[in-house]
A and B are shown apart, each in its own frame.
Chain A
Amino acid sequence: MITVPSSFHKAAFGQVIVPIVRMYVSFDKELQTSDFFTLDKSHLNGHDLLKSSAIDNPAQNWDFYLYKDYSDRLVNANWERRLEFPYQIQCGMADFTFDNTDGYFTPLSPNSPIGESNLPARPFRMYAGFNNHIQILPQMVGLTTGLPDLNNGSRTVDYHGIDFLYDICNHTLRNIVDMRDVTTDQVIAAILEDYGLAPSQYQLAKGRYTIPFVFFDIGEDAGDALKQLVQSENGYMWLDEKGVVRFETVSSINSDTDIEAKLTDYDIMSLQPGTINDIVNHVRITAEIREVQEWQEVYTKSESRETVSDSLWVVRPGETLEMSCNLSDPCYDIVAPTQGKASSVSWFTAIDQSMHDVTDGVKATGRLTSNAYIVTFENTHAYAVEINEMKLWGEPAKVYDVINYDAYDDLSVEEYGEQLLEISDNQFFQTYYQADMYAKSIIAQRKTYGRNITAQIKGDFAFQLMDQIEIETSTKEYDGIYRIMGISYSYNGKQLVTNLDLGNGTVIKDGVFTLNVSHLDGEDLIQ
């Protein structure tokens, strides 16, 4: 819950409610200041920007753009934030419609002052509050997608936007992420920095688990990586309303006694139970546990015995040859081979067309991928050479154990049939304890029908994901404590429709020592 005075909640749940939504867009992506950080002049943590080649990076600069207020043109706005099951990463989206009577937003229109800037990926900020309250709260920061849809009949224009975390999840890695013995937050930080975020733009709780080996190749999907990491921690990741990426582990989730709001009959328009598909009563997790080994031989190219073959590694005079060497295990590191046989390091040998040894003049460089080592040979001679033998030494991450975890709730299976959640693609589950914590939480939250409900309520813009709320109605049908797993708002100038996706509030923290909850000398572990 965003901290606001009680009068804000009163305005949200009152008799006559006057919501207001403010919409700001930076079409031209102009920066607030043209000042760049100058030594002996600028102040640390001041307003000056660090000049970089990524100055046009909307992610890094979202705080520094000049946003223009288009609220007066806003016809309607829909926005939602949601934690996607079973990964628990927020997905934020917004649709907003502007009055376009004068062609202001029509791309390429001579009447449009923003014509040439009316392009995809324009940063926007959305705020909401209540007319009789001074406080207006940030709701979303993100980027528009695509070009606007023109509605010529109604003379309006529709924009679709996604929050920055959604964009981060859609990006593919530009650099290799190769780490060992790191905590989850360190890996997440590496992925966020690959996207272009500065450390000031994210706040990550320290991961509970150490990952022995991580390797993400260039081009791999950042979203998949983040989902797996967050899931293995049973944590949560979201972009807060101010635009800071947040990651929390289960340890930092509020204890069950912290109720942020109580909703009663006069706050709720309708309550709907979820579907049978929301039930999970059986969790199966399969994961390989890898550990980085000592330096050892990881690839061998045996001495070639043929004289003419397409499979020969022939480097033409003055040219290069790139070969992909498939690895049986991913490697943390491999040393580039040098010319001439050697022990305990990578090496290669070369021969000329007369089968005589070539002892110099061939250089090799290499690049590691998730399942191969790409080696490039450069031949400086004026004659062709053949790379006839090679050994690569590296630090392979070998499987030393396999987790086959299986948990289910007998009673629920009997009542609703087996509702299985199978996870076999997440290699960040590194211990049975980790799998157990995750599975127990999921089953506790989802084993019975009605533990997940959708509530249409009077909207309170201070609500945040994972807030714990209590439903207390006269029918008592769905009374209980829930966590907000999704919030959607729809505003059209004369009505605000707010829907909450509410999940069962149970969070299994067994074994995690929590201040003011756990007992000293009890069973919980201090991390």
Chain B
Amino acid sequence: MITLTIQDAQDIISFDTILSSPIILTPIINETDVETIDGNISTYYGSTKRQYQFKIAWLDATTYAKIIGFRDRQYANLKYPRISITGATNINVSDMVAKITVSEQEVVDKCGTVENVVLTFRESKQMP
């Protein structure tokens, strides 16, 4: 079982069972290649950050609202939430500060169930 936990100063939520879809890990490498006059290259490297993307088939309205709460509070409180991912081999994320982005809201029934939710967490640092 893969567990995703999101928390900030006001709330915490864990997903234990719904993460059956793939987790996409995208390394964000801050680098620039420059070409010297002999045609070779050098690389200016700044840092590597991680980005995790979860594609969730559906979420109930309450859970979705909680996630939206994390997204909105990062703007209101000027602080990103923290996430942890456990249970997946080779993925070791513990209390990582990350900006959360939520895809568009596809409501599919009267109960407010949302389909095809894409959650993106981009690693960053926390402001003091």
Among A19, A104, A265, point to the contact of B38 (Cβ < 8 A). A265
In the assembled complex, the CB of B56 is this many whole angstroms from the nearest CB of chain A, namely 28
Flag whether A86 is at the interface (Cβ < 8 A).
no
A:202-259 near B, CB below 8 Å? none
Flag whether A294 is at the interface (Cβ < 8 A).
no
Cα-based distance from A270 to B34 in the complex (angstroms): 11
Binary per-residue interface labels of chain B (18-48) against chain A in the complex, 1 for a CB within 8 Å, 0 otherwise: 0000000000001110111110101111110
Cα-based distance from A268 to B35 in the complex (angstroms): 9
Given contacts A101-B78, A101-B127, A102-B78, contact A494 B38 (CB under 8 A): no
**A269 lies within 8 A of B32 (CB):** no
Given contacts A265-B37, A494-B30, contact A19 B43 (CB under 8 A): no
In the assembled complex, the CB of B8 is this many whole angstroms from the nearest CB of chain A, namely 15
Closest partner residue, chain B, to A16 (CB atom): B43
Determine the chain A residues whose CB is within 8 A of the CB of B35 once the complex forms. Answer: 269
A:171-209 near B, CB below 8 Å? none
Cα-based distance from A465 to B29 in the complex (angstroms): 34
Closest partner residue, chain A, to B35 (CB atom): A269
Flag whether A493 is at the interface (Cβ < 8 A).
yes
Determine the chain B residues whose CB is within 8 A of the CB of A102 once the complex forms. Answer: 78, 127
Flag whether A72 is at the interface (Cβ < 8 A).
yes
Closest partner residue, chain A, to B79 (CB atom): A102
**B44 lies within 8 A of A19 (CB):** yes
Among B31, B36, B43, B127, point to the contact of A265 (Cβ < 8 A). B36
In the assembled complex, the CB of A453 is this many whole angstroms from the nearest CB of chain B, namely 13
Flag whether B125 is at the interface (Cβ < 8 A).
yes
Determine the chain A residues whose CB is within 8 A of the CB of B38 once the complex forms. Answer: 265-266, 474
**A72 lies within 8 A of B125 (CB):** yes
Number of A-B residue pairs with CB-CB distance less than 8 Å in the complex they form: 60
Given contacts A101-B127, A494-B32, A495-B32, contact A473 B37 (CB under 8 A): yes
Flag whether A335 is at the interface (Cβ < 8 A).
no
Closest partner residue, chain B, to A19 (CB atom): B44
Cα-based distance from A301 to B34 in the complex (angstroms): 75
Binary per-residue interface labels of chain A (99-113) against chain B in the complex, 1 for a CB within 8 Å, 0 otherwise: 101111000000100
Determine the chain A residues whose CB is within 8 A of the CB of B78 once the complex forms. Answer: 101-103, 111
Determine the chain A residues whose CB is within 8 A of the CB of B36 once the complex forms. Answer: 265-269, 458
**A269 lies within 8 A of B37 (CB):** yes
Interface residues of A (CB under 8 A from B): 14-19, 72, 99, 101-104, 111, 265-271, 458, 473-475, 493-496
In the assembled complex, the CB of A523 is this many whole angstroms from the nearest CB of chain B, namely 42
**A494 lies within 8 A of B45 (CB):** yes
Cα-based distance from A382 to B83 in the complex (angstroms): 90
Given contacts A17-B45, A18-B45, A493-B47, contact A271 B32 (CB under 8 A): no
Determine the chain A residues whose CB is within 8 A of the CB of B32 once the complex forms. Answer: 494-495
Interface residues of B (CB under 8 A from A): 30-32, 34-38, 40, 42-47, 78, 125, 127
7 pairs from A and B in contact (CB 8 Å cutoff):
A16-B42, A269-B37, A458-B36, A458-B42, A493-B30, A493-B46, A495-B44
Determine the chain B residues whose CB is within 8 A of the CB of A17 once the complex forms. Answer: 42-45
Given contacts A101-B78, A102-B127, contact A494 B37 (CB under 8 A): no
Cα-based distance from A19 to B30 in the complex (angstroms): 12
Closest partner residue, chain B, to A267 (CB atom): B36
Closest partner residue, chain A, to B77 (CB atom): A102
**A14 lies within 8 A of B42 (CB):** yes
Given contacts A72-B125, A101-B78, contact A495 B34 (CB under 8 A): yes
Among B30, B37, B44, point to the contact of A268 (Cβ < 8 A). B37
In the assembled complex, the CB of B22 is this many whole angstroms from the nearest CB of chain A, namely 28
Closest partner residue, chain B, to A104 (CB atom): B127
**B125 lies within 8 A of A494 (CB):** no
Determine the chain A residues whose CB is within 8 A of the CB of B43 once the complex forms. Answer: 15-17
Cα-based distance from A266 to B34 in the complex (angstroms): 10
Closest partner residue, chain B, to A456 (CB atom): B34
**A270 lies within 8 A of B30 (CB):** no
**B37 lies within 8 A of A16 (CB):** no
In the assembled complex, the CB of A311 is this many whole angstroms from the nearest CB of chain B, namely 72
**A18 lies within 8 A of B46 (CB):** yes
Q: A72-B125, A496-B44 are in contact. List 14 more A-B contacts (CB 8 A).
A: A16-B45, A18-B45, A101-B127, A102-B78, A266-B40, A267-B36, A269-B35, A269-B36, A473-B37, A475-B37, A493-B46, A493-B47, A494-B46, A495-B44
Cα-based distance from A263 to B46 in the complex (angstroms): 24
Determine the chain A residues whose CB is within 8 A of the CB of B37 once the complex forms. Answer: 265, 268-271, 473, 475
In the assembled complex, the CB of A526 is this many whole angstroms from the nearest CB of chain B, namely 45
> Which of B32, B37, B46 has the most C-beta atoms of chain A within 10 angstroms of its own C-beta?
B37
Determine the chain A residues whose CB is within 8 A of the CB of B46 once the complex forms. Answer: 18, 493-495
Cα-based distance from A16 to B44 in the complex (angstroms): 6
Cα-based distance from A111 to B128 in the complex (angstroms): 12
In the assembled complex, the CB of B65 is this many whole angstroms from the nearest CB of chain A, namely 25
> Which of B36, B42, B78 has the most C-beta atoms of chain A within 10 angstroms of its own C-beta?
B36
**B34 lies within 8 A of A494 (CB):** no
Cα-based distance from A496 to B34 in the complex (angstroms): 10
Determine the chain B residues whose CB is within 8 A of the CB of A474 once the complex forms. Answer: 38
Cα-based distance from A18 to B127 in the complex (angstroms): 23
Cα-based distance from A19 to B34 in the complex (angstroms): 14
Cα-based distance from A173 to B127 in the complex (angstroms): 44
**A458 lies within 8 A of B34 (CB):** yes
In the assembled complex, the CB of A101 is this many whole angstroms from the nearest CB of chain B, namely 6
Cα-based distance from A15 to B45 in the complex (angstroms): 10
Q: Which 7 residue pairs across A and B have the least CB separation, nearest first? A: A265-B38, A495-B32, A494-B30, A494-B46, A102-B78, A493-B46, A495-B44
Cα-based distance from A15 to B78 in the complex (angstroms): 38
Determine the chain B residues whose CB is within 8 A of the CB of A496 once the complex forms. Answer: 44
Cα-based distance from A267 to B36 in the complex (angstroms): 7
Cα-based distance from A458 to B34 in the complex (angstroms): 9
**B40 lies within 8 A of A269 (CB):** no
Cα-based distance from A312 to B46 in the complex (angstroms): 77
Cα-based distance from A313 to B32 in the complex (angstroms): 76
Determine the chain B residues whose CB is within 8 A of the CB of A16 once the complex forms. Answer: 42-43, 45
